[in-house]
Amino acid sequence: MKNLFSAHHQGLKKRQHLSSLLTIGVTTAGLSLGLPAQAIELTLDNSANLWVDQALRAVENNPPLGPTGASRAYGILGTAMYDAWSAYEGTPISTTLGDTLQRPDIENTLENKSLAISYAAHSVLSDLFPSEVASFDALLTDLRSLASNSASIPTATEVGNTVANSLLQFRRQDGSNQLGDDPRGTLGVPYSDTTGYQPVNGPDNIVDITRWTPERVPIDSPDARLQRFLTPQWGNVTPFALSSGSEFRPPAPEPFLLVEGTLNREERTVTLEDGTEVSLVNEDGEVNTDVVNPGFIEQAERLIEVSANLTDEQKLVAEFWEDPSGTPYPPGTWMGFGSFISERDDQTLDEDIQLYFGLGNAVLDAGIATWEAKVFYDYTRPVRAIRELGELGLIGEFDEDLGGFAIESYGGPGLGTVRLLASDFITYQTPGADPSPPFAEFTSGHSAFSASAAEIFKLFTGSDEFGNSVTFAPGASRFEPGLTPTDEVTLFWETFSDASDEAGISRIYGGIHFDDGDLLGRQLGRDVGGKVYDRTLFFINGGVKVPEPTSVLGMLVFGAFGAASMLKGKRGN
C-alpha cells in the first residue's frame, strides 16, 4: 500500500486552489455566519471523514465539553480509527495492543478496514457522547449496508471493538476525569476539576493584577453568573507524544511590578518588603518605571490600538475563528480541514486514517501543553488588565467629562470606535457572552491548536499549500448583523501557516490575548506538532524510530525508508 507520509512530500499529487469550504467541520462552525453546509458522500472510502463529522457534530451538541474535552475526543477518535486500521496493515502497530490483532493479508480490503474503523469509532464516540448514540448507530448501519457479503463483518467488529475498549480503558485513567469519578473532583460531574484550583481574584476584589479573574457574564451585569476556570487539571492529562504537559512550557509573560511588594490599589502605591511605600506614578504624572514594568502597559496599549482601528476584515477574522460554545471549538475547525484536504487530494481511506491519527493527537497534546501553561502562570486576560490599569491611572489620559482615565477603542456593536473609560474596555466577542474565555490568558489555545494542526498538515502533505477560503456577504456578521461588512469580504488562506497565523491573531482582534500569548502559543503548537508527527511515524512504521522528519534531510531519508517499510509489510507481502 501507499505510505502517505512519504508519498505526499515527494509531490506525487498536484495541488489546486479551492475557493469553497468543502468540509462539514468548517461549514458547521460557520453556520451562524450563513455559510452553506456540504454533506460528505456516504462511501466506505469516506468512512474516516464521516466519523470525524459525527464527532464535530457531537461536540457542537455538548457545549460544556469546552476546547479541552473536544481536543481529547478528537485525539481518541483519530487513535481508535488508526488502531483498528493497523490490524489489517503489514507494518503499523496499535498504540495500546501492539501487533496482537494482526489479520492475514487476504483480509486487507477496503470493506474490512472501513468496518473495523467504523466499529472502533462508534465505540469511542458512544462512550464520549452517550447522548448522540442514535446518530452514531445510524451511520454505522448505513456503512454496514455498503459492505458486500464477502466482508468479514464479525472479525471487523471484534477488531474495532477490541481496540476501542483498550484505548478507552487507558484514557479513562488519563487524568481528565471524563467519568466524574475522581474523588478529588465533583463526583458525577464529567471532567470536573481535580486540583482544587481557586482564583486569586474576584471581579470586585483584585488581589493581583497579573492573575486571572473570573468575570461576570455579561461582564457589567452585577447579578450575572460568574465564570469558572475550565478544566484546571488538563495540564496533568496524559499526552500522546509529549513527556509531560510542561515539556514545552514557554517563558513567563510580562510581570506588572519590577519589585517585590504589595500593590495598594486605593492609594496607587506599592509597599516594598522593607515597608517603604512607593507611588506608581512620578510627580510629573508619568509611570514610575522603577516600580512598574513598561512592558505590561505596552502590551495593553497595543491591544487598545488594535481595538480602535478594527477593519471589517479584522472583525470577520475574529468572528470566524472565535469557535465558542455550540461549535466544534478551535481544534474542531482544524479537524474539519482534514476533510477538505481529503477531497482536495483525492485521498484514500488509508491516507485519511493516518492524517486523522496525527491531527487528532496534535490538538490533544496542544490542549494539554497549553492548559499546563495557563494554570502554571494563571495570567490575566486583557479586558481585566486594561480595566485595572485604567483604575490605577496607568493607561490612557484623564478625561474630566468621563471622570477617569479614558482611551479610544471599540465601543460595542454598531458603535465603532468611541472614547470611553479604560475601566469600561470591552472585547470584540459574541455580544452578551463571555468577555473572554473562562480560563487564563497565557498562552493562546487558538494559537497552539492551530499551529500544531498546521504542522501536521505541512509534514503530512509535504507542502504548506492550503488553498481554502470563506466569503462573507455584506451584513453577514454575527456580532454586528446587517452592518458588517459593508462590502463582501473573503478570507483566503494560501497556506496552512496563513490559516494558523490568522487564527492566532484573531484573538488579538477579539481583544482577548496579548501578543506574547499568541506568538508563544504558536511556537508551542509547532513544537507539539513536530513531536506528535514523530510519534505517529513510530507506530506507523511498526515501532521503528525514523529519522527526524522536521528537517529536510530527515524527510528525504524517510521518503525512502518509510515507503519501503510500509510496502514490505511484516510477512513479506
Write out pLDDT tens, residues 242-252: 999 999 999 99
Q: Is the pLDDT at 293 greater than 60, yes or no?
A: yes
For residues 81 and 273, which has the higher predicted lDDT (pLDDT)? 81
Write out pLDDT tens, residues 324-366: 999 999 999 999 999 999 999 999 999 999 999 999 999 999 9
Mean local confidence (pLDDT), 249-262: 97
As a three-state string, the secondary structure of 278-321 is: EECECCCCCECCCCECHHHHHHHHHHHHHHHCCCHHHHHHHHHC
> Which segments within 142-193 are labelled E, that is strand?
none
Spell out the domains of the chain, with CATH numbers in brackets: 4-191+309-380+437-568 (1.10.606.20), 257-289 (no CATH)
The H or E element containing residue 167 is helix 153-171
Residues 6+ apart with CB under 8 A from 252: 377
Mean local confidence (pLDDT), 418-429: 98
Q: Is the pLDDT at 272 greater than 80, yes or no?
A: yes
Write out pLDDT tens, residues 487-541: 999 999 999 999 999 999 999 999 999 999 999 999 999 999 999 999 999 999 9
The mean pLDDT value of the chain amounts to 90
| Residue 148 banded pLDDT, cuts 50, 70, 90 | confident
Q: Is the pLDDT at 35 greater than 50, yes or no?
A: no
Determine the pLDDT at residue 9. Answer: 33
Determine the pLDDT at residue 547. Answer: 52
Q: Is the pLDDT at 67 greater than 80, yes or no?
A: yes
Write out pLDDT tens, residues 437-482: 999 999 999 999 999 999 999 999 999 999 999 999 999 999 999 9
Determine the pLDDT at residue 557. Answer: 32
Determine the pLDDT at residue 560. Answer: 31
Bridging pattern class, strands 489-495 and 216-217: unpaired
What residue type is assigned to position 570 of the chain?
K
Write out pLDDT tens, residues 390-414: 999 999 999 999 999 999 999 999 9
Bridging pattern class, strands 261-264 and 269-272: antiparallel
| Residue 561 banded pLDDT, cuts 50, 70, 90 | very low
**What percent of the chain lies above the pLDDT cut of 90?**
86
Name residue, grid cell 507506530.
Answer: 539
How far is it, in rounded angstroms, from Cα 219 to Cα 431? 10
Q: What is the DSSP string of 528-551?
A: HHHHHHHHHHHHHTTT-----TTS
- Taking the CA atoms of 343, 349, 350 and 353 in sequence, report the sign of the dihedral they define: positive
Q: Using the 8-state DSSP alphabet, how is residue 423 labeled? A: G
Determine the pLDDT at residue 38. Answer: 61
Q: Which of 505, 482, 135 is nearest to 302 (CA)?
A: 505
Determine the pLDDT at residue 550. Answer: 40
Name residue, grid cell 464477502.
Answer: 150
| Residue 214 banded pLDDT, cuts 50, 70, 90 | very high
Mean local confidence (pLDDT), 99-112: 96
How far is it, in rounded angstroms, from Cα 280 to Cα 288? 5
In our burial notation (b when 16+ CB lie closer than 10 A, e otherwise), range 303-337 reads: bbebbbebebbbbbbbbbbbbbbebbbbbbbbbbb
